[in-house]
Chains A and B, each alone.
Chain A
């Protein structure tokens, strides 16, 4: 479903602020696979997701989605393949529009947006049915401005919006990080339900080792723009958070050792 080949991203190239965010990442995500991506701050997690969605311009490499090369495609063109939920609940929805208008916008993803009324009775029924799954009572508040909802509610609506058009790829960028623990747990549970129901392929960036192992079926750890761990299947099932943390600090330790060697 996703095929990344030797992706390199360099910010502020040829300046004193030059920063190689990704250094040659190759990754293939199969159809219906649910990959969680972890790593410390600045490891390149969100940059990697940006390289897939098109939001981050890449300096080298090749991006394929659904066997189509999209390397040079802008964000909006790739959007027909991938739905996204952002870390900031404000980013994924349009505050001045109503809930149903936001949903109509998402409904149009990958379709031509023409003269047709955005809110027909038929669409309204669809939106009502879908949002009822949340159990938040939002189905009776479709006409409310989405700006009135809490961050968690907005993320929940964003997830529903991701299912409204027929893309099969879902990109989640720390979508629970800005929420309180209870709401975060709810959104995560909802994520799993949605992924199951709509048979989605997922890339989920998270800062939580626990979530990274609890969700999905494959985990990738990034460090300094490189993949340092890629586990799936039985090997992953046997991993627990302390082990993962240990591996994490080992990677960092090796780096320190390298440095000390250099210094020595």
Chain B
């Protein structure tokens, strides 16, 4: 892998690290399997791209994307909490609706940002090498998001959010509304995903409605991969782990793409993903079994 490809891979890994954070919040913290991300990711891109082309300041456009992504989460929460639709189904409904809405937002399925101002433009104008400056800006933004999530989960609000996914009855008994935390948890998660979509569109100069396909799989792969390799009960460890998981996932994809390596080609990617996630799921069990065997062997002696 060349340096250029490596840095590019890091960049995409970090951008999708925000997706992993969002997926971590829903799947792990809130125990709410949420597929909305397949819709909120391209929507973040669509909103940011449309706003930028309409002349809105790129930072403001990115903020808008976060808000709109959060709104996708609220819709899913509404369907699940208020209308009592099974969470998985509720999120699928939002996801497919988002596809149509994304086309409405952009007025077409693909919107280009080549030559438009982005959050990176100011740094490009300073004469910095975009290869490093874009990566740096994205790194700082992801770091900020990671800090925000860590700090939030350590707050009174975050504690209740964490308990909601484990013991909802206890949360209501302690005066917390499960519905409220579901709404805010999903909004937060999809806000992060919308943020990711906006960064993706700006760093790659296009927003495309098809870019949402499989976002949830990538996010889950990152969460599972990261938490398996970097286990730990502490919040900041988990937050770092899922972002690292996202980068590792992209590196794995990058290696699969490196021409000639292991005789792999891009069409093997889905297989690579499936194998990665499967290994990550099996590994902890294997570890446990091996430890058990070692203990038994010691006892036998």
Contacts and interface: CB of A to CB of B under 8 A. Distances in A.
Direct touch of chains A and B (CB < 8 A): yes
Interface of B: 152, 154-160, 162-163, 166-167, 169-178, 233
Nearest to B233: A145
B163 A105 contact: yes
Given A74-B177, A76-B177, A109-B175, A92 B155 contact: no
A79 B174 contact: yes
A134 interface: no
Interface residues of A, number: 34
B238 to A, nearest CB: 12
B156 A116 contact: yes
A110 B159 CA distance: 15
Interface in A210-243: none
Contacts of B162: 94, 96-97, 101
Nearest to A53: B173
A92 B166 CA distance: 11
B85 to A, nearest CB: 20
Contact of A94 (B155, B158, B166, B172): B166
A114 B157 contact: yes
Contacts, number: 96
A168 interface: no
A108 B156 contact: yes
Interface string A50-85: 000101000000000000000000111101100010
Contact of B175 (A79, A93, A145): A79
Interface in A19-77: 53, 55, 74-77
Nearest to A90: B167
The 4 closest A-B pairs by CB, nearest first: A79-B175, A113-B156, A75-B172, A109-B175
Given A104-B156, A116-B155, A118-B159, A75 B167 contact: no
12 contacts: A74-B172, A76-B171, A76-B178, A94-B162, A94-B167, A97-B159, A97-B163, A97-B166, A108-B156, A113-B159, A113-B176, A118-B154
Main secondary structure of the interface of A (DSSP, over half): loop
A23 to B, nearest CB: 26
A90 B175 CA distance: 18
Nearest to B178: A76
A94 B170 contact: yes
Contacts of B170: 91-94, 105
A62 to B, nearest CB: 22
A261 interface: no
Given A91-B167, A97-B162, A84 B173 contact: yes
Given A108-B160, A109-B174, A113-B176, A119 B166 contact: no
Contacts of B169: 86, 91
A1 interface: no
Contact of B155 (A96, A110, A115): A115
B172 A96 contact: no
A105 B166 contact: no
Nearest to B165: A96
A109 B177 CA distance: 11
A93 B167 contact: yes
Nearest to B152: A115
Nearest to B163: A94
Interface in A87-139: 90-97, 101, 104-106, 108-111, 113-119
A156 to B, nearest CB: 16
A113 B157 contact: yes
